[in-house]
Amino acid sequence: MKDLNRDPALEQIEHEVVMLLRRADFKKTLDGAENNLFRSGYLILNLLQQTSPLAVRELADHFQLDVSTVSRQIKALENRHLVERRIGEHDGRVNQIFITDAGKRSVVKLKKERLMVYDSLLAGWSEEEKAVFADHLARLNRKIESRHRLH
């Protein structure tokens, strides 16, 4: 069996990911509950902007979350008038979630802000370096997702 403690690259990856998550968690604390609430709904809004409407179950399946967790996030987004819930056209038992115009504007604004932050953080990186980094992050995310689906 491979001695994992003697793999410098693996040790550095472990350390850097822990630091990244720690910094992200610290930023979340600084932002406060209000922004954290919006951050948790950003992915839902982003997906709904591309594929609206969706049922709560479809959203939960997509994000590999409990229906109750997604329902709470949807309720918070509804309270901010970023989404609205309507009875399904074909099945009255199923609620469809639609993104509102305010929700669309919020996604565009937040995405622009996030892109500006990443542009600043990656200033000085070549286009090739950014592309390679993006590919590696996507690969890691796919692996994490497939592992999560197995467990």
| Tens-digit pLDDT profile for residues 21-40 | 777 765 555 454 445 556 67
Domain ranges within the chain, ordered by starting residue: 33-150
pLDDT given for residue 32 in this prediction: 47
pLDDT band, residue 10 (cuts 50/70/90): confident
pLDDT given for residue 124 in this prediction: 96
Residue 104, token pair as written in the block: 């669309």
pLDDT given for residue 36 in this prediction: 54
Nearest residue to 145 (alpha-carbon basis) of 49, 137, 118: 137
pLDDT given for residue 33 in this prediction: 47
Mean pLDDT on 49-62: 93
pTM of the model: 0.76
Residue bearing the bigger pLDDT, 150 or 142? 142
CB 17 within 8 A of CB 9: no
* Chain CA centroid to CA 45, Å: 10
pLDDT given for residue 99 in this prediction: 97
Nearest residue to 144 (alpha-carbon basis) of 17, 6, 4: 17
pLDDT given for residue 30 in this prediction: 47
CB 108 within 8 A of CB 102: no
Residue 96, H or E segment: strand 95-99
User: What is d(CA 104, CA 108) in angstroms, rounded to the nearest whole number?
Assistant: 6
**85-92 LR contacts (CB < 8 Å, sep 24+):** 86/53, 88/55
| Tens-digit pLDDT profile for residues 58-88 | 999 998 899 999 999 999 999 999 999 998 7
How many C-alpha atoms does 101 have within 13 Å on its Cβ side?
0
Residue 2 has pLDDT above 80, yes or no: no
Residue 7 has pLDDT above 90, yes or no: no
Task: Name which CATH class applies to 33-150.
Answer: mainly alpha
Q: What is the DSSP letter of 8?
A: H
Place of tokens 């990244």: 20
